[in-house]
Structure 1
Amino acid sequence: MTIKAGLIRCQQTEDYCPATTCFTNAREGKGGLEETGPVEIIALNTCGGCSGKKAISRAMTMKERGAEIIIFASCILRGTPGYIDYKCPFGKKLKKLVEEKTSLEVIEWTH
């Protein structure tokens, strides 16, 4: 049985990153999902822009719609794709708040 996941990405990266590597790694259980195994992404949204507070309500909605875990795309906590290399200054706090408010595990990266 495949785990259902909600994927949250940085709004600042959506102009140049189509999230294809995030989707591939989720489907194949690679990168940050090696321990979890393959997951089905049932929802995709951004953090809402800096400071990312919309990520919390969006993760809660994802849970209401069936997400069993939340995945932060690598652009949030790793600052990838590599040519950008800018980690979200609010990322760790967002992860903690999303976990507290949803009671779901947050995977920190995809690739």
Structure 2
Amino acid sequence: MKLGIVRCAQTEEVCPGSKDFQALREKTGVFAKVDDAIELVGFTTCGGCPGKKAVFRAKSLVAAGADTIAFASCITKGTPIGYPCPFAKRMIAAVEGNVEEGVEVLDYTHGW
């Protein structure tokens, strides 16, 4: 798996992404069922509310070699601030509808 992660721009100041990296390294969370090696090709933000840049950012990750785009748990689960993004579903759907066919989109990274 060649992975690109899209994270919340609002939590960028309080979270360095350590739990995302730990989950992919230890194959926990959404990565628990991945048998192949995971190579991180990029880690970027959604661009800020309301996430209009998420499609462009995901496409740039695909251009860098990603075959899978994961939305970090800060977007869909609200970790670590306890506030999920109100635009998460719309962002994920927009990315799914605008990246190349065959690119997998995951809706979270870790469960804690």
TM norm structure 2: 0.90
Q: Does 1:8 align with 2:6?
A: yes
Please report how far the alpha carbon of residue 99 of structure 1 lies from its aligned counterpart in structure 2 after TM superposition: 1.0
How far is the alpha carbon of 1:13 from its aligned partner?
A: 0.3
Q: Structure 1: any 5+ residue segments left out of the alignment?
A: none
- Bigger share in helix: 1
Structure 1 position 60 matched with structure 2 position 76: no
The counterpart of 2:90, out of the listed 90, 93, 96, is: 93
Q: Distance in 1 between matches of 2:60 and 2:109?
A: 21
Cα distance in 2 for residues equivalent to 1:86 and 1:80: 7
Aligned-pair identity (%)? 45
Give the aligned length: 107
Partners of 2:91 and 2:38 in 1: CA distance: 22
What CA distance in whole angstroms lies between the structure 2 residues aligned with 1:4 and 1:28?
16
**What RMSD over aligned residues (CA atoms) do the two structures have, in Å?**
1.1
State the one-letter code of the partner of 2:67: E
Q: Deviations over 1:25-73 (max 9, x none)?
A: 1122111211234521110100000001111001011111100000111
Query: Which of 53-62 and 30-39 deviates more?
Result: 30-39
Q: CA deviation at 1:110?
A: 1.3
Inter-partner Cα distance in structure 2 for 1:39 and 1:80: 22
TM-score by length of 1: 0.90
Instruction: Tell me by how many angstroms 1:17 deviates.
Output: 0.3
AA matched with 2:12: E
Unaligned segments of structure 2, at least 5 residues: none
